[in-house]
Structure formats: C-alpha cells, structure tokens
Amino acid sequence: MTRLQVVRTTGVLFILFSLLLNVPYYLLIQNFEYDEILRKPTDYVLTQFHAGGAGLILTWFSFALVVLLFIPTSVLFQKVLGREDTPYLSAATLMGVLSGLVQSIGLMRWVFVIPVLANLYVDPSASKPTREAVAVVYQAVHQYGGVALGEQIGQFLLVFWTLGVGIAMLKSSLFKPWVAWLGLATIPFG
C-alpha cells in the first residue's frame, strides 16, 4: 500500500467510524432510552430490553462491531503520522487498539448476556428468588462490562490514545497545530 493509499484509507475509516457509530447510538436513544436507562432500576431495564426483542439485540451488536473499527483506524493513523521512532506513539496506538477491543467486549454484554437475563426475568413462571438472583447477576455484569470495562478502562485507554496522537500531530508537518489542539481539547480532565 502506498503512503497516499494509507492516508486515504485512514481518512475513509475515520469518517466511516464517525458516521457508523452514530447510527446504533441514535437507534438506542430512540428505542431504548439510552443512556438514561442505565440509571433506571433493574426491573425496568430488563423489561424494556426484553420488549426491544431481536432488533434491539442487533442494534447493540452493530454498536459493538462499529467500535471495533477503531482498531484498524488507530493502527493506520500511526502510519499516517509516520513517526515510527516515537515510543509514546506506539504505546498510544496500542492503547487505541485496546480501547476499541475493551469497549466492544463491554458492549457485547447486551448481545450475549443481557438477553438471557431479560428472558429469565420476564418469564411469568419465574419465582421471586429467581428474579432476585437475575437482578444480582445483571448488576454484576453491568458493573463489570459497562462501568469497569467500557466506562473506565476503555475510556482511560482512549484518553491516552488521544494524548499520544495529539502530541504526535503537534510535531507533524501533516497537520496544522490547531487541529492537534482541537483533539487534545477533547481529553477530559477530572
């Protein structure tokens, strides 16, 4: 692949990633009250999830797959920057790859685990102890997959990817400094 092809492919991937990420996100807002629903009681979440059916599961699956696009995008962006001599950029790229992977794994709970829990929870023959057990499992999975993996580790890795590529962009002749500063300004502090 020539340098121009790498640059164009990376640009296309960034655009696709940005556009495609918003499709399932918008659908989740419209059809599942995302992300406010994450702060609702377990009973409400599992009942609403079950009501969403296969379409909702497919939306979550699409969301998780689109997040995986960040992996090749972050790897190719390192090649665009052409700074193979900077260990911090290699570390940042690794963090970008891990961020995409970890966040996708966290989202996949809605595809592989939550459907089972929702089915058990809304089953008319389920006893009160069964529903209570399902609620505990849901909370554990939600805290681990959503809070720990997605919101903490995945976002933490994304912050360091942004920091690394922002610094590399400042030192690159390919980008105007203001573009790098705009990226660095997205890093949350505190």
State the average pLDDT for the chain: 95
Among the listed ranges 18-27, 68-77, 171-180, which one has the minimum average pLDDT value?
171-180
Question: pLDDT tens, 95-146?
Answer: 999 999 999 999 999 999 999 999 999 999 999 999 999 999 999 999 999 9
Q: Which pTM was predicted? A: 0.92
Please report, for the chain, the start and end positions of each structural domain, with discontinuous segments joined by +: 3-184
Whole-angstrom Cα distance, residue 83 to residue 13? 20
Provide the b/e sequence for 160-189 (b: ≥16 CB within 10 Å). bbbbbbbbbbeebeebeeeebeebeeeeee
Structure tokens at 42: 């377990």
